[in-house]
Amino acid sequence: MPANPQTSLPLPVAALAWLGRQGTRAIAALVFIGIAIPPLGALLKPWVTEAVFVLLVISFMRVDVAAMRGYLARPMLVIAATVWSALIVPLLFGIGSVVTGFDKASPDLFLGLMLQAVASPMMASPALVALMGLDSTLVLITLVTSTALVPLSAPLFAYVFLGGTLTLSPLALGVKLFAILAGAILAAAVIRRLAGVDAITRHRQAIDGFNILVLLVFVSAVMGTVGASFWADPVGVLLLTGLAFVIFAILLGATALMFRKAGQERALALGLMASQRNMGLMLAGTDGVLPGLTWLYFALAQFPIYLSPQLLKSLVRRLRELPGPSRG
């Protein structure tokens, strides 16, 4: 009788596979782990850049080549999603804040919102979308094209809406982004060649588990001070958390509505991508020289990002039950 492949796995691989099967529950738990163990954030903070690289390598390693060729052969969806994420979203944020006077009423929070808007999608977004069973290939391609625009778009919007007071160092940011993306593509190609696509597919759950461990680096690094901030000003932190959820919901809903003709699952995948902004990249671009309120907003904005896969999984399940043409 052949051995059960789940029981014949080495213990570390089996443990990762178990973690991967927890999926969205494990992602949601990361937020509370990051808050509950502040020393963990201090320990892992120096490894954030490496974690970004590893997550991107895994995303490229798992890409569906046939699906990617299909999108590149008909690139209008990718182009439209890129323009929406990289140009239209920050433009709407900036104009809306200026028209309502929010930029003058709370300049530090406005700074945080604009940096969130001009950021490219989070490099972990393909992994989060994959955990929900949605189209991570479309998200990955759009992430790459949107990220390529950031060295040009972010300083431009910062100058227009922040009065030229913020230095983003576009050349340094562009070089860093290029190095990360090119290195991740090369590393992923080597792994695919050495391990083989079949092995990558076979160990999908273990790779999901490893993804979750790497995501822990992100969450712990930014959430470590949230507990202290809450005890100092609980009402203010709760209001700021509510704002983070509202902004997340607006980005997700508006994007899904904008791309609904591409199919509901693709629209939801793009909505998740657009709402998961790489604020850590903006921290690096500004050398971390930001007001305390901006830092706190960045931390609290991680709540909807990492809780959304668990909160939205029932929606994805309902979409799966719809007829094929409506799903996309």
pLDDT digits (tens, 9 = 90+) for 15-27: 888 988 887 788 7
Predicted pLDDT of residue 34:
83
Query: Model confidence at 288, in pLDDT bands (50, 70, 90)?
Result: low
Give percent of the chain above pLDDT 90.
23
- 99-111 burial, b for 16+ CB within 10 Å, e for fewer? eeeebeeebebbb
| pLDDT surpassing 50 at residue 2 | no
Query: Which helix H or strand E contains 181, and what residues bound it?
Result: helix 170-195
From 143-152, 187-196, 243-252, 285-294, the region with the lowest mean pLDDT: 285-294
Predicted pLDDT of residue 3:
46
| pLDDT surpassing 90 at residue 281 | no
Predicted pLDDT of residue 275:
92
The answer to whether the CB of 303 falls within 8 A of the CB of 311 is no
Query: Model confidence at 8, in pLDDT bands (50, 70, 90)?
Result: low
CATH class of the domain defined by 31-321? mainly alpha
Query: Model confidence at 1, in pLDDT bands (50, 70, 90)?
Result: very low
The answer to whether the CB of 256 falls within 8 A of the CB of 271 is yes
In angstroms, the CA 276 to CA 12 distance is 30
Domain limits, the chain: 31-321
| pLDDT surpassing 90 at residue 166 | no
In angstroms, the CA 239 to CA 21 distance is 34
In angstroms, the CA 121 to CA 82 distance is 10
Averaged pLDDT, 230-245: 91
CA atoms in the 13 A half-sphere facing the CB of 52 = 20
Question: pTM of whole model > 0.85?
Answer: no
CA atoms 238, 27, 132, 283: torsion sign: positive
Residue 133 three-state SS:
coil
Predicted pLDDT of residue 95:
95
Predicted pLDDT of residue 194:
92
Predicted pLDDT of residue 169:
59
